Amino acid sequence: MNSILLKLCILGGAAIIVTLIVIVVFIIISHINPFTYPVIKYSIDISGRKQPSYKDCVDQWVIDNKDYNAVNHYNHVISKWDNDCRRILEKTHLGKERKTQIYNNMKNAVNSSEYPIYQYVFFRRQVRYKQSNYKKQAYSVNNTEGVYKLTLKQLLEIYDELEEIDFETTRQKYYAKNQRKLMTKELRQLIIKRDNYTCQKCGKYMPDEVGLHVDHIIAIKNGGKTVESNLQVLCDKCNYRKGSKKQN
Ligand SMILES: [Zn+2]
């Protein structure tokens, strides 16, 4: 009699523990979002390029793919993702309310104009070697260096801005070219006279203008403008020194 009671107690205890585990697992599963958000990914090889500007690289990508229909592609990816979501949700054993809640949460996140669906992955190829049969064999791996994320709206804005300049070049290069064009003979003479033929770093006087440079204080490639306040006279030496400092 006693041994039967003991067995029942053990069985009961085991049943309670199993039930608790099942409940805990169910709670965990029902709170995990089992889906991934949609991404449109492009890889850009920046091997051999020293500190490229990601923004500039994306501009170049848009120029190279100017016939790409971003809106169509976006709608296609979103509708496929939407279908996949519904299908997977139907297969789960979640309550109807919970399913709707998960679906709406995800849909809202993805539909928001802040959602960065575009991911440009920048990678460098690296050659590695392995030893096989006493021979050294080269193989290459791609090392991701950074990811630049964009919303559809941002990508379309870039497209519009580049279209305005007929996809001639990236916005950064176009800006630099225009700023260089603004450097007229008249402006040059104005700066030389203003600075009295004198290097603004070391004070060298160059009345014959030999070795005299009109320098952008903030370089054009860093967004500097060709305006009087950003220009100065430098001598050969100081200009060279400034240039070599910038590269380091
Ligand atoms: Zn100088």
For 185-232, the pLDDT digits (tens) are: 999 999 999 999 999 999 999 999 999 999 999 999 888 999 999 999
CA 212 to ligand 1 center in whole angstroms? 9
Q: Give residue-wise pLDDT tens across range 60-85.
A: 999 999 999 999 999 999 999 999 88
**Domain housing 12:** 1-32
Please tell me whether residues 110 and 187 are part of one structural domain. no
End-to-end distance of the chain based on CA atoms, in angstroms? 89
Same domain, residue pair 235 and 124: no
Given a cut of 80, whether residue 172 has pLDDT beyond it is yes
* pLDDT (mean) for 13-35: 75
Shared domain check, 217 and 154: no
Neighbours of ion ligand 1 (CB under 5 A): 199, 201-202, 204, 235, 238
What are the tens digits of pLDDT across the range 137-171?
889 999 999 999 999 999 999 999 999 999 999 99
**Total number of domains in the chain:** 3
For 245, phi then psi, to 5°, come to -65, -40
- Give the Å distance between the CA of 195 and the centre of ligand 1: 12
Is 178 domain-assigned? Answer: no
Rounded (5°) CA angle 45-180-65:
30
220 alpha carbon to ligand 1 midpoint, in Å? 21
Does residue 228 contact residue 191 with C-beta atoms inside 8 Å?
Answer: yes
88 with 153, same domain? Answer: yes
CA of 101 to the centre of ligand 1 (A): 69
User: Do 139 and 216 belong to one domain?
Assistant: no
Both 105 and 192 in one domain: the answer is no
| Residue 246: predicted pLDDT | 57
CA of 199 to the centre of ligand 1 (A): 5
User: Residue 85: exposed, middle, or buried by beta-carbon count in 10 A (0-12, 13-18, 19+)?
Assistant: buried
Model pLDDT, residue 29: 61
